[in-house]
Structure 1
Amino acid sequence: MSTTFVTPQARTVLIRACQGFEELDACVQVQVDVWGYSDGDVIPRRVFTVTQKIGGQVLAAFDVSDGTDDTSENLVGFAMALPAVRPQSGPGATPEPYLHSHMLAVRPEFRNAGIGRRLKLAQREDALAKGFQLMEWTFDPLEIKNSFLNIHRLGAIVRRYTSNFYGVSSSRLQGGLPTDRLHAEWWMQSERVEAILSDAPTVKPNTEQANQIVTIQETITVPHEIGKWKSSVENQDRALAVQSENRQRFEKAFARGLAVIDFRTDAEGNGIFGLGHWQEPVFSIPRD
Structure 2
Amino acid sequence: MIDDRTTETTETSTGKVAGGQAAKPAEFVEALAKGLAILESFDAANPEMTLSEIARKVGYSPAAARRSLITLMALGYVGQTNKRFHLRPKIMTLSSGFYYSAQIDEVLQPHLREVVSKFGDASSVGTLDQRDVIYIAHNSVQRARRAAAVVGARYPACATSLGRVLLAGLSDAELDRYFDGLVIEPLTSKTMVDPVQLREEIEQVRKNGYSTTVDQLDYGITALAVPIRALDGRTIAALNTSGYSGMVDADFLVANRLPELRATASRIANALTRYPMLVSIIGS
**Band of TM-score, shorter chain:** under 0.3
TM-score by length of 2: 0.28
Is the strand fraction higher in 1 or 2? 1
TM-score by length of 1: 0.28
Is the helix fraction higher in 1 or 2? 2
